[in-house]
Structure 1
């Protein structure tokens, strides 16, 4: 399917109560191609009234949906998994058009994101409780797990499919109904995903999708509604903190997957070939626009020069361009604001003494492109040491021993993921235990896996997505005491 036919086949309305409809005031959101700055298409822009209608629909079917046999929910997820596989190419193209990443990376996201549907289709039938005798023998203790209830899901722009499937998958599995608010920069993939779930037979009202440019008003109204029982958000720490404050009014169950400042540690015994390969994956996946992206490269002084040389050569060889063009490995950043922020961070670092190994400039006559960049001699007071870069920039600093490496790695308010490269088994264990991080990738540049619990500590949030733990976020435990 080519670009024009794909865009013309989209439902661009709100998906509320199983029906596609325009926003109540008729306003629309323009969705831009970040490679050109031109509008791809326009979609309905939800009002507060539309958001309430979506929650009304979710509440209306919650009890019936919760009572659906687990196997039926499992089969719906499995059917969606299979249909997404069939439509992987069109979903990947849609993601590349609205978000910018190269087609190969978009196809990788379809594969990764779809795994959450397969994984949770297998977890549905394993929701269980327990039975025991009280210690004094006077009663029987029964515990059961039930769906939390209607859930509000706020997803980011950087992984338009995977950030949705990793929330929708466990919610369907647990028996929760949903209102989804995708990012206004990249709503098209979520709308297409809603079409897929509609096609496989997910009942009306179980999934509702309401893109909106009036996020604060619409989400604020829903979060304050006593019928809502859970909020899950992926995005910046600043926004996450505000949402947690708002959620306190109704004491909502909350899951927060927030920002990161991932350290990438290279020890002197590391296999440098693997370390450079891992660095390319950890830094350049999604053009560095990922909460899991390696943000600070901490390299032992004995191997720092060689690592920087090899890494710089690899980064310089990347091809920058529109993600649909052949051979392109680095697409645009999401918008002008993101491009300006990356430029500011690099300019700040170089003004403080950092050296440019490669890159260091915005590029392209149109769109929001920035060159893959490697910096060395980065001072500790540079802004990009402390802030999430969200771009293709790799700052390198050095350390002299393991203790200092851990101090540098942990010197951040964030704690989502860390990367460690070493061939010493003892060091793998010591460093993994010492890192203040929810996840640690050892000798690999990708950590995300549907079968593993994804999430952080400190200001990177709380709650887990994926793994055996992922479905628990959507379940409440009920205890029943029975007199014999």
Structure 2
């Protein structure tokens, strides 16, 4: 049986306590994972502290960038290994893992190396009343040891999205991947060892949340910052734990995202975009559109078109390149999604398509599958319109006016993303800027420039990641102010 070990201070470390890693496609056991105890987490934090205090923390920007490029190159070389691990751990189709997850994992290291080398720092000259002046300039220094807790839906992509800028800024990290998806994180540790990243710079601990590695990281006084992507409820618990030691936090949490489809949209392109926005990764993306508002003149046509496209979706083994949708991550999560399908029925929804567990008559029947589901007929106050489901499901509802739909789309405690579909340029700008979200797409979805700010408001998170926003979070910025006597020559 394959063993997935912790990686602490440049060494792979075993634990007497193991837990199972299951393949969501058929429920089979693919690996046993060594759960880190508190002593191991403390050792990882201590190793990170030594690394930051040693040559790594003092390394030049150029030399650190070279290390990040080597990491990316080795990830490319091991592309097939990462691809196999990502598909086995998550059940996501080859078509997604091979074009989004694994390529972005390597790209994150390259882009933050590039950004780091060209990142500007502020400088100001201040004239003083006595004729002297002061020169102010900013120095970027490492924060120290950063705790990184990453989710199961995009495990490699979102782990590297945090590790890359943290290392670029000279920090050490103690990373805990989701217990559901430990494989690609373990491969990343192998990459770190292969390319010669100094011991203690990258530490990996496996485990769970309360009473396990997650809690040990977030409650440690020796962790200098915490970054987390995952459920809003978990973010709230981490925030309480971090408050005791007053440290920086960066949270990208859940969403109940709205899509607004106007009657003047390019209909065929909109349907293409919305099929991705609703069903990508079986709806297990925080950016997915669970609330779809469609202008009344095209409402019936839109519902019929989505239902027709759903009928041709291929639910099959992840390794099949024709597969368009895989399973959910776990039996527990499948039960949650199915419970919302039932809640929708109880609330009076119409199940236009889906709503059940598919039957395959093969090993997939032991996996964690649900049908993609389209529902209509609920009020905006129904639970299925207020609470994040995180599955392959959306509710479609009609609207009549621009002002009405803006108010309805913004009527949520979340604030992560929105998409607007229209051919009217003025309306596009007007509505996109009116959304209380971190990112508004127009005639697009999941289109990302990694230099731009990414994050949400309300229950969707705190802070922004991407480009300079990431570098500033992972840096301690010191202003140096020098008084210069006398007037300038």
Q: TM-score range by the shorter chain?
A: over 0.9
Q: Deviations over 1:136-162 (max 9, x none)?
A: 134332321211111000001111101
Contact 2:142 2:171 in 1 (8 A): yes
CA distance in 2, matches of 1:361, 1:222: 39
1:352-371 matches, within 5 Å, as 352-364=347-359, 365-371=365-371
Partner of 2:422: 422
Q: In the alignment, is residue 397 of structure 1 matched against residue 397 of structure 2?
A: yes
Partner of 1:458: 458
Contact 2:207 2:214 in 1 (8 A): no
Greater shift, 257-266 or 127-136, is seen at 127-136
Q: Secondary structure of 2:254's partner?
A: coil
Q: Deviations over 1:422-448 (max 9, x none)?
A: 111111111111100000111012234
The structural deviation recorded for 1:217 is: 4.2
The structural deviation recorded for 1:344 is: 1.5
Contact 2:205 2:213 in 1 (8 A): no
The structural deviation recorded for 1:477 is: 1.4
Gaps of 5+ in 2: 360-364, 485-489
Contact 2:95 2:322 in 1 (8 A): no
Q: Secondary structure of 2:136's partner?
A: strand
CA distance in 2, matches of 1:231, 1:261: 24
CA distance in 1, matches of 2:298, 2:280: 24
Partner of 2:24: 34
Contact 1:440 1:447 in 2 (8 A): no
CA distance in 2, matches of 1:348, 1:225: 40
Q: Deviations over 1:210-234 (max 9, x none)?
A: 0113544433333333322100000
Partner of 1:101: 92
Q: Deviations over 1:339-393 (max 9, x none)?
A: 1111121222123222222211112322111111111223333322111121111
Q: Secondary structure of 2:300's partner?
A: helix
**1:351–1:214 Cα change, 3 Å:** closer
Q: In the alignment, is residue 66 of structure 1 matched against residue 61 of structure 2?
A: no
Greater shift, 444-453 or 333-342, is seen at 444-453
Partner of 1:158: 153
Partner of 1:469: 469
Aligned length: 474
**1:449–1:110 Cα change, 3 Å:** farther
Greater shift, 441-450 or 38-47, is seen at 441-450
CA distance in 2, matches of 1:429, 1:57: 49
**1:130–1:453 Cα change, 3 Å:** closer
CA distance in 1, matches of 2:326, 2:32: 22
The structural deviation recorded for 1:133 is: 2.7
Greater shift, 30-39 or 207-216, is seen at 207-216
The structural deviation recorded for 1:237 is: 0.5
Q: Secondary structure of 2:394's partner?
A: strand
1:43-442 matches, within 5 Å, as 43-64=33-54, 65-107=56-98, 108-136=100-128, 137-213=132-208, 215-364=210-359, 365-442=365-442
Contact 1:263 1:298 in 2 (8 A): yes
Partner of 2:362: none
The structural deviation recorded for 1:395 is: 1.1
Contact 2:450 2:466 in 1 (8 A): yes
Contact 1:414 1:458 in 2 (8 A): yes
CA distance in 2, matches of 1:385, 1:463: 25
Gaps of 5+ in 1: 1-6
Q: Secondary structure of 1:240's partner?
A: helix
- TM-score (norm: length of structure 2): 0.94
